[in-house]
Structure 1
Amino acid sequence: MANVIRHSLTAEEIAALALSLAHLGAGPQSVTARRGLRHAFEHLDLDDDVIAATLTTLTTPLPTDVARRARAVANAITARLVIRIQYHDAAGRMTVRDVEPVTCLVHGEFWYLVGWCRMRRSIRAFRFDRILAVEPTDLPARAHLPQRYLPFQRRSRASRPSAA
């Protein structure tokens, strides 16, 4: 058996791998890829409920319609294009938003699109199960560094904003 070199993955690498896996479906390639992702997480303390739920979500195929939306988002990230989404928020309001997609990630039981919302003029995380439609546009999106916008990260005290 070949030797495998193991190292920790960055949050950006995990997000990219997870998004790639999201729209692979349930075929043999995706089964092998998800098993590989599970191995990459072997060093984590799975006694943490959030990490355990996140790992389960990462390694479970998305429903076909959600995977199709994930593919459209991934294509827009790669092409650096704005997408128009129909979004149903937690309060039940439906909005149509133009979003500059930055990355996608999983936290706990949910997939999120992280992007610059042109309507709110700030970074937002949109739950994939609340995104009803994704429409690509020809509008260029500005370059955003994913590591600056990844929510749910554990940050050191030094990197947290100080209270005034």
Structure 2
Amino acid sequence: MVLPKSEKDRIAGMIMQGIEHHKILERVRETSGRNRTSILEKKDIENIIAAYGLSVNQSRHSDNSTSVRLIAQDMKDAGELLYFKDQGELDPQNTEIPSEEFVLAFMKEGQQLMFSEQLKNTEKLQLTTLMTITDLHQGFPVAFLISSTVNTEIVKVFLDKTKDRMGVVQAQVFMSDDDPLF
């Protein structure tokens, strides 16, 4: 029996949120009733990780800074990188972002597909998530911004790079937290 796409999307969302696999199995089994999802196994989660191009262990080097640069290069090679500026560097195309800021913005293939269809950090980095609502009325993250601070200039670059990738998006509803920045 094949898992429905809607269930795969929901499980992929949980994986991307960093929920441990045994917790995903518990949640899905508790809420699925009597269908294919009720017998979800670890192998199903591994298959979803592979199918969506997700990664559960992103550490590439013992030095965090080097690891992040390697991951950013991999994302660039895979066409997933929206924007990267390392701390201590100045971006000549976006001089409004100070050199001491760290910025990493990316969009995975599965997120790009969902966006098209649906028009824990220890170093004190902030995560901004751009989400859309699926046909099942569930939030699905379509792009991430990880930065040392969140301000108008950084969010503008993030949204501009997302627009470069996806084209102009006409949102029916825009919702954010209560931060006036957004």
> Would you call these one fold, judging by a TM-score over 0.5?
no
Higher strand share: 1
**Which bin holds the TM-score, normalised by the shorter protein?**
under 0.3
Using the size of structure 1 for normalisation, the TM-score is: 0.27
Q: Which has the larger radius of gyration?
A: 2
Higher helix share: 2
